[in-house]
């Protein structure tokens, strides 16, 4: 039976989520019984993804505009020189405005994935790869990072589990951060466009700044500025705030609170994850309490490459609303966990420079004998001096930096890793 | 290309966001590369891919607070089965035909589709962006989708004859 226009509109309303439960039930019945309705719905879905694909490709294409100045040097030497300068700068402006920006991959660590604008999926990026408008990169694991060099001596780094795409913007070098963490050091010398990042909740623009963005659950963006200043715009209502050096703002979809920038608080030297009562456990699956443990965050499978799955939990110190947490000599991590096997567990941390950008990632391997009896919860203390850098280029110690996140990973599913408590404990001061 | 569009489309029906659907397709591609088992046929591979995409989509929905109302799983299964019944070659031709049809659309129609599916605006937001009524947006979208479907069939028939 051919669908009429009203039925088609009703299907579209259903996709838009605006039908009452009764109307939705009617649509569900129609879809179960009518192949024509399903055919229409499949058509809509195919068209939706292809429209998005075509638009991405359209952004990827660079319009070719070449304008040739005409002049007579013999007759109009002086005037021509002026015109030449004028046309030259005009041409430069036109071309730089139309030419899409690029980003060169200069460093990578850990698993990542590259989706070119034409849809070709590459398993890994390599240093030297040039990303163009429409290209997307994803860093797949807590231990991953990719550093990009932009023109004008600017650098952007994505870390942890993040998704970043180069997008077209006539007036900015623009990126879309769908989720994850981005660190940027931006310069805008003459002839270079300013920099812009779009998240699910905010648009962040700057010409000169060192700052970072952390997104949480694609609903909140936290912008912290260490040098220079950035302008943030809340997408839900268009409100804006200038975030100056040493300031921070939190942008959510909710308009209940006005958008303000606050000075970053003075650093502390300890942190206690509130676990169930707060959103800082950003990765993992909550399990129901059992007789031994009220709080149980189960490591979640994370596919990080060919034949490689790890089981991970992740805790964001910065998302907890805590002041910056300084890592000092003698500091230690106190973690209560359970594993079902003697297989090793890795503890990792991400650090940033105090009032500065990304510093590095460090890890410590906990062997079976440190993990205690299988199936029994155990509290483990790990001195910060036990952590080693994930990359040779990093400083051998994280002391003197700020702690931004902590992750725990079991390479094997059978470990059934559960985390009950995570603390960062200050060094003990002698009385 | 055809397979990618169909798996992404199946994911889109769950999450209603073309960018998330693309992420899900990437995850499915990564999982397919990581799988040690081989599939007996293209059909078995596609069937696995549809189920994996649906599960990924449902997982994503569970993590969202304002997730769209999900379609009944039995309906999703019916839709996936119908997709899977199309031959792979046919899917590729359909995909190309759709791209050709999109390129022939007037700029205003392209803009409407872009706002709704690329920018991910809800229909109310599209209506506000275009300064028109919500009902008019639904009417135009219905006609556009139906028109594109007709255009694809015409192109496929022309190619066959």
Please, which residues have CB within 8 angstroms of residue A207's CB and are 6 or more apart in sequence? A186, A188, A194, A195, A228
Residues in chain B with CB shorter than 8 Å from the CB of A309 are 34
* DSSP 8-state assignment for residue A346: E
| Distance of alpha carbon A309 from alpha carbon A313, whole angstroms | 13
| Distance of alpha carbon A92 from alpha carbon A222, whole angstroms | 36
CA-CA distances (angstroms) from residue A220 to A185, A202, A209, A217? Answer: 22, 9, 21, 7
Q: Which CATH architecture has domain B105-161?
A: Orthogonal Bundle (1.10)
Q: Which range among A16-20, A144-148, B70-74 has the greatest average pLDDT? A: A144-148
Choose among B48, B53, B50: nearest CA to B20: B53
| Distance of alpha carbon B82 from alpha carbon B11, whole angstroms | 15
Tens of pLDDT along A350-394? 998 887 778 889 999 998 888 888 889 999 999 999 999 988 777
Name the one residue in this structure whose structure tokens are 């209506």.
Answer: B127
Q: What Rg do the C-alpha atoms of chain A give, in angstroms?
A: 26
> B73 to chain A, minimum CA–CA distance in Å?
10
- Greatest C-alpha distance within chain A: 96
Count CB atoms within 10 A of the CB of residue A430.
4
Residue A291, CA atoms < 13 Å, CB-side half-sphere: 2
What local confidence, expressed as pLDDT, does residue B65 receive? 62
Choose among A161, A211, A163: nearest CA to A348: A161
pTM for the full predicted model? 0.64
Better pLDDT: A278 or B129: B129
Task: Say if the Cβ atoms of A43 and B6 lie within 8 Å.
Answer: no
- Judge whether A99 and A84 are in contact, CB under 8 Å: no
What local confidence, expressed as pLDDT, does residue B138 receive? 93
Name the one residue in this structure whose structure tokens are 């020189």.
Answer: A81
Name the one residue in this structure whose structure tokens are 């559960």.
Answer: A418
Task: Say if the Cβ atoms of A49 and B12 lie within 8 Å.
Answer: yes
- Judge whether A183 and A145 are in contact, CB under 8 Å: no
Tens of pLDDT along A84-101? 333 343 333 333 334 568
**Range with the lowest mean pLDDT among A54-63, A400-409, B130-139, B149-158?**
A54-63
| Distance of alpha carbon A216 from alpha carbon A233, whole angstroms | 17
- Judge whether A353 and A400 are in contact, CB under 8 Å: no
What local confidence, expressed as pLDDT, does residue A62 receive? 43
Q: What would the two tokens of residue A163 be?
A: 């998704």
Name the one residue in this structure whose structure tokens are 């809340």.
Answer: A234
Residue in B2, B13, B49, B61 to test binding to A, most A beta-carbons within 10 Å: B13
Choose among A390, A369, A395, A388: nearest CA to A380: A369
- Judge whether A230 and A270 are in contact, CB under 8 Å: no
**Hey, CA dihedral for A122, A125, A131, A133, is it positive or negative?**
positive
ipTM of the complex: 0.93
- Judge whether A136 and B19 are in contact, CB under 8 Å: no
A182 three-class SS? strand
Tens of pLDDT along A242-292? 999 999 998 887 777 788 899 888 889 999 888 876 667 878 888 888 888
Please, which residues have CB within 8 angstroms of residue A129's CB and are 6 or more apart in sequence? A104, A105, A114
Task: Say if the Cβ atoms of A306 and B98 lie within 8 Å.
Answer: no
* DSSP 8-state assignment for residue B116: I
pLDDT confidence band for A185 (50 / 70 / 90)? very high
Residue in A16, A18, A60 to test binding to B, most B beta-carbons within 10 Å: A16
Name the one residue in this structure whose structure tokens are 């079976």.
Answer: A368
Count CB atoms within 10 A of the CB of residue A58.
16
| Distance of alpha carbon A176 from alpha carbon A166, whole angstroms | 6
pLDDT confidence band for A78 (50 / 70 / 90)? very low
Chains A & B: contacts with CB separation below 8 Å: 148
Choose among A398, A412, A278, A408: nearest CA to A335: A408
**What is the number of H-type helices and E-type strands within chain B?**
8, 0
- Judge whether A233 and A218 are in contact, CB under 8 Å: no
Q: How far is CA A379 from the centre of its chain?
A: 31
Tens of pLDDT along A296-309? 999 988 877 666 78
Better pLDDT: A99 or A176: A176
**Which region holds residue A60: left if phi is over 0, alpha if psi is between -120 and 50, else beta?**
alpha
| Distance of alpha carbon B40 from alpha carbon A161, whole angstroms | 34
- Residues A242-248: contacts with CB within 8 Å, 24+ apart? A243/A211, A246/A355, A248/A222, A248/A223, A248/A224
| Distance of alpha carbon A388 from alpha carbon A316, whole angstroms | 20
| Distance of alpha carbon A40 from alpha carbon A33, whole angstroms | 13
Q: What would the two tokens of residue B102 be?
A: 């999109």
Count CB atoms within 10 A of the CB of residue A25.
12
A 201-230 residues with CB < 8 A to B:
217-219
Count CB atoms within 10 A of the CB of residue A288.
6
Q: What would the two tokens of residue A351 be?
A: 């650090």
Q: Quick one: which H or E segment has residue B111?
A: helix B107-113
* DSSP 8-state assignment for residue A268: B
**pLDDT > 70 in chain A, percent:** 86
Better pLDDT: A207 or B62: A207
- Greatest C-alpha distance within chain B: 53
What local confidence, expressed as pLDDT, does residue A1 receive? 57
Do β-strands A281-283 and A308-316 pair in parallel, antiparallel, or remain unpaired?
Answer: antiparallel
CA-CA distances (angstroms) from residue A30 to A3, A15, A37, A96? Answer: 10, 14, 7, 53
| CATH code, A271-425 | 2.60.120
Residues in chain B with CB shorter than 8 Å from the CB of A44 are 145
Residues of chain A with CATH 2.60.120.1440: 100-263
What local confidence, expressed as pLDDT, does residue A218 receive? 57
CA-CA distances (angstroms) from residue A146 to A106, A127, A176, B22, B28? Answer: 8, 9, 15, 21, 22
Query: Closest partner residue to B31 among A18, A52, A303, by Cβ?
Result: A303
Classified by CATH at the fold level, domain A100-263 comes out as Jelly Rolls (2.60.120)
**Range with the lowest mean pLDDT among A59-73, A197-211, A279-293, B20-34?**
A59-73
| Distance of alpha carbon A213 from alpha carbon A180, whole angstroms | 8
Task: Summarize the confidence of residues A70-77 as an average pLDDT.
Answer: 41
Query: Closest partner residue to A50 among B5, B33, B74, by Cβ?
Result: B5
pLDDT confidence band for B142 (50 / 70 / 90)? very high
Average pLDDT, chain B: 84
Q: What would the two tokens of residue A342 be?
A: 């003697």
User: Does B82 score more than 90 pLDDT?
Assistant: no
Query: Closest partner residue to A17 among B6, B27, B69, by Cβ?
Result: B69
Q: What residue of B is the nearest CA neighbor of A33?
A: B75
> A198 to chain B, minimum CA–CA distance in Å?
12
């Amino acid at each position: 039976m051919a669908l009429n226009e009203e039925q088609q509109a009703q299907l579209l309303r259903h996709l838009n989520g605006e039908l009452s439960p009764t109307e939705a039930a009617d649509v569900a019945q129609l879809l179960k019984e009518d192949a024509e309705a399903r055919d229409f719905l499949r058509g809509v879905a195919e068209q939706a993804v292809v429209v998005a694909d075509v638009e991405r490709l359209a952004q990827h294409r660079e319009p070719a505009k070449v304008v040739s100045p005409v002049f007579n040097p013999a007759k109009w030497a002086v005037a021509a020189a002026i015109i030449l300068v004028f046309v030259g700068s005009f041409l430069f402006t036109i071309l730089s405005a139309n030419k899409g920006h690029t980003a060169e991959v200069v460093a990578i660590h850990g698993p990542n994935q590259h989706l070119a604008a034409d849809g070709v999926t590459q398993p890994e990026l390599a240093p030297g790869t040039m990303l163009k408008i429409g290209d997307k990169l994803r860093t797949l694991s807590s231990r991953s990072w990719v550093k990009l060099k932009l023109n004008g001596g600017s650098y952007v780094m994505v870390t942890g589990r993040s998704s970043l795409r180069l997008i077209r913007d006539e007036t900015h070098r623009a990126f879309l951060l769908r989720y994850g963490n981005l660190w940027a050091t931006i310069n805008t010398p003459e002839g270079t466009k300013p920099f812009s990042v779009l998240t699910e909740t905010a648009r962040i623009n700057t010409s000169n700044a060192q700052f970072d963005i952390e997104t949480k659950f694609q609903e909140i963006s936290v912008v912290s500025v260490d040098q220079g200043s950035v302008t943030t715009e809340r997408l839900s209502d268009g409100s804006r705030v200038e975030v100056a050096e040493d300031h921070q703002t939190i942008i959510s979809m909710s308009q209940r609170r006005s958008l303000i920038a606050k000075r970053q608080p003075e650093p502390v030297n300890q942190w206690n994850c509130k676990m169930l009562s707060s959103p800082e456990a950003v990765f993992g699956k909550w399990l129901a309490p059992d007789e031994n443990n009220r709080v149980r965050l189960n490591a979640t499978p994370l596919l990080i490459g060919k034949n490689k799955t790890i089981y991970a939990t992740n805790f964001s110190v910065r998302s907890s609303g805590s002041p910056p947490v300084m890592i000092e000599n003698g500091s230690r991590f106190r973690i209560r966990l359970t594993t079902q096997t003697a297989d090793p567990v890795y503890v990792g941390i991400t650090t940033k420079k105090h009032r500065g950008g990304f510093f590095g990632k460090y890890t410590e391997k906990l062997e079976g004998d440190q993990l205690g009896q299988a199936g029994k919860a155990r509290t483990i203390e790990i001195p910060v001096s036990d952590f080693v850098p994930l990359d040779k280029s990093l400083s051998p110690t994280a002391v003197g930096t700020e702690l931004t996140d902590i992750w725990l990973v079991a390479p094997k599913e059978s470990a059934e890793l559960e985390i009950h408590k995570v603390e960062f404990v200050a060094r003990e001061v002698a009385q | 290309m055809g397979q990618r569009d169909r798996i992404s489309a199946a994911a889109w029906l769950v999450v209603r966001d073309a960018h998330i659907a693309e992420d899900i397709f990437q995850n499915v591609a990564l999982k397919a590369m990581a799988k040690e088992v081989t599939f007996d046929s293209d059909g078995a591979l596609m069937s696995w891919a549809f189920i994996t995409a649906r599960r990924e989509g449902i997982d994503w929905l569970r993590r969202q607070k304002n997730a769209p109302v999900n379609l009944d799983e039995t309906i999703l299964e019916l839709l996936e089965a119908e997709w899977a019944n199309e031959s792979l070659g046919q899917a590729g031709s359909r995909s190309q035909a759709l791209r050709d049809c999109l390129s022939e659309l007037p700029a205003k129609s392209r803009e409407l589709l872009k706002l709704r599916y690329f920018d991910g605006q809800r229909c109310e937001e599209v209506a506000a962006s275009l300064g028109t009524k919500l009902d008019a947006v639904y009417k135009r979208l219905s006609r556009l989708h139906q028109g594109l479907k007709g255009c694809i069939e015409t192109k496929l028939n022309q190619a066959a004859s």
